Structure 1
């Protein structure tokens, strides 16, 4: 018997009620269980009220089981959480897709929705960074038109920095 294809809808968190526990579970599974963030760091990094303050949460919702399947944050230039982007530039933070929904193109759909959101907001560029060990994410970003512009070290970890120009 063939497994039915799952269906997802992409939306901003303000359009649908996303519970704090869903955000926390997703980020913990992706980043802590994935070995990218230490549990002690996750407490502050993934506190849902702080995550929501970063910017526009773009979420993927699995329709059949009504679950949060993935998310990414578009951080605007006026956000206190902006780290590298300049004037009229946005950042992408915390792209994550739950393990059971990976390899279905969901990460790509979230990145495309984030780029569309940034484009509609009139931003000229998107900046992001990803740990050196996140090879799948790097391939995704590069295939979505992001260029590797250098490396940086932060909190004892090495990152690749990417950017994508979106408006002239």
Structure 2
């Protein structure tokens, strides 16, 4: 007799079997508190899919000391884009991970960008508070549209950053 291979559910499912994890297996990709737990609850034979519940615990937000924040701020004023070698050196001297320093710089650049947009918006709004003689209402409508567009872009950027 020949042995027959049995495929449960959809035939393409068998290709993914080596990648399935055992039930309640914890995957820890990083150090610290960042862990992802995957629980396999069973195989839906009629649909040929695996029902998984994934619970993700995020690493707690880093609170920088005043010395760390001051040092990072001084480095940022020198160069907004720090090379990896310098980032490693600074991280080691401050007792931080390289990724924490990298993230701090990314967040700081985002803060500058947000502040620049707000400054442009503020200047633009204040320069058009009193319309000069002979200006048309269309100019004010265009200004309102520009302000609305800038605000929506800033809000979209903030929402993407938060997620």
User: With structure 2 as the length reference, what TM-score do the two structures score?
Assistant: 0.22
Higher helix share: 2
User: With structure 1 as the length reference, what TM-score do the two structures score?
Assistant: 0.21
* Structure with greater contact order relative to length (CA < 8 Å, sep ≥ 6): 1
